[in-house]
Amino acid sequence: MEFRDKDYKYMERALELARKGEGFVSPNPLVGAVIVKDDKIIGKGYHSAFGEDHAEVMAIDSADTDVKGSDLYVNLEPCSHYGKTPPCSLKVINSGIKRVFIANGDPNPKVAGGGISQLKEKDIEVYAGLMEEEGRKLNESFFHFMEKKRPFYNLKVAQTIDGYIAAPGGDARWISGEKSREYAHYLRHKLDAVLVGRGTAELDDPQLTVRHLDGKVSQPTRVILDSNLKISLESKLFKEARKGNYLSDILVFTGPDVDAVKKSKFQELPGVKVIELALNEDNQLDLDDLSRELINFDLINILLEGGSRINYSFLKAGLIDKYYIFISPKILGGNDGIPVFAGAAPDKIYKSEKINIDKTERYGEDILITAYPKRGES
């Protein structure tokens, strides 16, 4: 079928609705739905929170007239299995909807075409592939997790024009401007967890929370990588936990056989968990082991906020899936600032990491480059 202009219009509306669930539905995908009858939207909905009704159910229940004979536009194939909610496919079948337009099939093995098959078996016309690329990008972390069985890692850095994220002594306040920092807080809200190394946690002493945003926000899980469990209990993160100010979990990943007494002191704090990981051949935390543990906590969309050694470790391991690079109109100068990646560089340019720039935007005086790695390309 050749899609019509109005089909694109209604699917775009479904995608807009789906985005309203950002920060609240993971590890479920973002889904929006629109019901159209006689060229008029009569119902709409989106998946608003993990465990709550799915988009199709909300759209059908919100309809201001009988949906029998109508068209449903939904960006992801209706689920066909019982989970925290009943199958959406049955709701659609029982509603009398005549045609269903879908952006993407569901990569979840529990669905994987099952929803489409159920609809077709009941003589509902199904047309898939409408704004397929846009739908996949909206749920890129979900597709990545389902296909590769590991989290989707987003690297966020704020750097000077000459490539430094901090002055030689570690001062980084503020490389980027206020508008950039607001967007960084939006990323924390949107993604599942924010991850830093012990050095950044101690030097910057951050809360790693969402601030500077209006309305309801989702606080990310805070993740600290500390192979020897040397981080101070006096860090701001743990001081707040001691006060009983619980905002979100704090996961401290450390190496094996760390001091049991110190470990117990951390785990006495509300929301704080210490997880031991294997070490790799460089005596650093094994990032594959980390990925498996993050999945166990339903954390599939991770924001890497540094520092430079953590950035290098993920780069070297080929685990960076998306880049958010804020470039500020500042030049630190010299050759002893802290670079974005602290580690041994390849000896030839052709061995460098190559990226596809997706878009560039202005945030105040800063430029944000959003990019993806060119994996498998020379």
- Residue 181 marked ligand-binding: no
Residue in this structure with the two tokens 């909905």, named with its chain if needed: 45
- Residue 309 marked ligand-binding: yes
Which residues sit opposite 339 in a β-bridge?
164
- Active site residue ranges: 56
- Residue 364 marked ligand-binding: no
- Residue 85 marked ligand-binding: no
- Residue 271 marked ligand-binding: no
- Residue 247 marked ligand-binding: no
- Residue 378 marked ligand-binding: no
Strands 164-166 and 338-339: antiparallel
- Residue 242 marked ligand-binding: no
- Residue 200 marked ligand-binding: yes
State the Cα–Cα distance between residues 83 and 360, nearest whole angstrom.
39
List Cβ neighbours of 220 (8 Å cut-off, separation of 6 or more).
188, 189, 191, 192, 193, 194, 208, 209, 210, 248, 303
Q: Write out the two tokens for 264.
A: 């117990």
317 alpha carbon, distance to own chain's centre:
19
- Residue 356 marked ligand-binding: no
- Residue 54 marked ligand-binding: yes
Distances (CA, A) of 188 to 37, 55, 372: 38, 24, 19
Torsion angle defined by CA atoms of residues 67, 69, 70 and 74, in that order, rounded to the nearest 10 degrees: 100
Q: State the amino acid at position 102 in one-letter form.
A: I
- Residue 221 marked ligand-binding: no
* Nearest Cα to Cα of residue 305 among 205, 156, 168: 156
- Residue 288 marked ligand-binding: no
CB 28 within 8 A of CB 52: no
Residues within the annotated binding site for substrate?
A: 188, 208, 211, 305
Residues within the annotated binding site for NADP(+)?
A: 158, 174, 200, 204, 227, 307-313
Residues within the annotated binding site?
A: 54, 79, 88, 158, 174, 188, 200, 204, 208, 211, 227, 305, 307-313
Residues within the annotated binding site for Zn(2+)?
A: 54, 79, 88
